[in-house]
Amino acid sequence: MRQFFQTLIRDRKWRVVLGGGAGVICLIILLDQVIVPLIVHSRETVVMPNVIGMPQEQAVKILEQYKLRVHDIQHQYDSVYAAGRVVLQSPYPGATVRQGRRVYLVVSRGEETVRIPSVLGMSLRDAQIALLREGLQIGRVQVTPCTPITSSGIIDQSPPAGALVRTGTPIHLTLCQDTAQIVTVPDLIRRSQQEAQELLEQAQLQLGEVILQYDGTFVPGTVLRQEPAAGSRVPPGTTVRLWVASDM
């Protein structure tokens, strides 16, 4: 066997092959141990500045001063920051990154607004459905006796139809109804869901949709919001919608 390898080494063609193989191995080692680390470590690191809350143009300018690249700016509605200001950034403020790193920004569109639909002439239930479809909610409901020239249903709303408001705005309604058959919506806020249901039954009202909403302040099962609002005068059997605290 030894004689066989000696013969290969003496053979000129095999010397070229073996020499070439050794050269390739050396090149791989050189790339892995020397060249690649030099390329990777050639860019300095920087600490991500906090640009949240800044106008978009100012945020981009600051990031470029840090030799970072702003990429793929997204927009979303936000009730905290005015339109044109940065809502989120990635990487997060304070992160250590290399110069040239891509930075992703989310910029506020401002508060989302909707135009209030007309619910005049609708029943209370139909008005509630129409408002919910637009992202609005029922505020206070006042009941007034019907007159010879008015039919039962919603006869007034505030703000008026056509007004531009932010989503979630409560719309206050006036309902024409036989006042002999009217009950008052109890205050259910900060009560447990079970207590709320018992109070509704006592008031001849029905528990409607229950929406779970994450909340780290109140005990899970606590009522956070209700619709219609407490104190509203509504017909017996009206459904009351609840938002209830959840830990998930």
Q: Structurally, how many domains does the chain consist of?
A: 4
Q: Which residue has the higher pLDDT, 27 or 18?
A: 27
Mean pLDDT of 105-126: 92
Q: Is the pLDDT of residue 172 over 70?
A: yes
pLDDT (0 to 100) of residue 7: 53
| Gap between the Cα atoms of 197 and 206, Å rounded | 8
- Asked if 175 and 190 sit in the same domain, the reply is no
Q: What is the pTM of this model?
A: 0.51
| End-of-domain residue from the set 140, 165, 181 | 181
Is residue 224 within a helix (H) or strand (E), and if so which, with residue range? Answer: strand 223-227
- Asked if 9 and 60 sit in the same domain, the reply is no
Which CATH number fits the domain that encloses residue 60? Answer: 3.30.10.20
Q: Is the pLDDT of residue 12 over 50?
A: yes
Structure confidence by residue, pLDDT tens digits, 206-238: 999 899 988 878 999 999 999 998 988 888 888
Q: What is the dihedral of CA 62, 63, 67, 72, to 10 degrees?
A: -140
Q: Is the pLDDT of residue 183 over 60?
A: yes
pLDDT (0 to 100) of residue 177: 79
pLDDT (0 to 100) of residue 9: 47
pLDDT (0 to 100) of residue 182: 83
- Asked if 172 and 211 sit in the same domain, the reply is no
Structure confidence by residue, pLDDT tens digits, 139-168: 889 888 887 666 789 999 999 999 999 888
pLDDT (0 to 100) of residue 145: 84
- Asked if 246 and 200 sit in the same domain, the reply is yes
- Asked if 132 and 160 sit in the same domain, the reply is yes
| Gap between the Cα atoms of 17 and 127, Å rounded | 87
The contacts of residue 2 (CB under 8 Å, 6+ apart) are: none
For Cα atoms 45, 47, 50, give the angle at the middle one, nearest 5 degrees. Answer: 150
Range of the domain at 227: 182-248
Q: Is the pLDDT of residue 79 over 90?
A: no
